[in-house]
Amino acid sequence: MGRPVKGRPRLKLWVVFGDVKFGEGRAELLDAMERLGSFKQAVERMGMSYRAAWGYFRELERAAGLKLLERRPGRGPQGGTRLTPQGRLFLRRYRRFRQGLDPLVARYFEQSFRD
C-alpha cells in the first residue's frame, strides 16, 4: 500500500474579488483583445456576448479596485480597447500564478499520496 497512486491532480482555479471570479476564460479573452487590438473582435472570437463581457469587466474593475481596460482613439495597433499598464501587470501576475501552480500541485500530490 506504500506504492504511489496512479492518478493525477486536476484543478480549476480562479482569482476571486468579492463575488467576481477571474479565471482562464477571461484571461484568454484579454490575450485575444491584446492580439487583435479590439475587445469586440476578441469577444466574438471567443463566442461570448459583448454586453455580458463588457459588464463583467466593469464589475471586475470595481470589485478589484483596478482599472484594467482603456479605450484609445483611432485605428491601427494603438487604437481600440487595450489593457492599461495595471491590466497588463494583473494579467502577467495571473499567468505566473496559474502556470507556476501546476508543478507545485503535482509535487504536493506525489507527497500526499506516497507517505
Residues that bind a second copy (CB under 8 A): 1, 5-17, 21-22, 64-66, 85-86, 89-90, 93, 96-97, 100-101, 104-105, 108-109, 112-113
Decide if 42 contacts 32 (C-beta within 8 A): yes
Alpha carbons within 13 A on the beta-carbon side of 19: 0
**DSSP classification of residue 82:** E
Position 9: which residue type? P
CB of 16 or CB of 72, closer to a second copy: 16
CB of 27 or CB of 36, closer to a second copy: 27
Retrieve residue 64's grid coordinates. 478589484
CB of 49 or CB of 106, closer to a second copy: 106
**Least CB distance from residue 38 to a second copy, whole Å?**
26
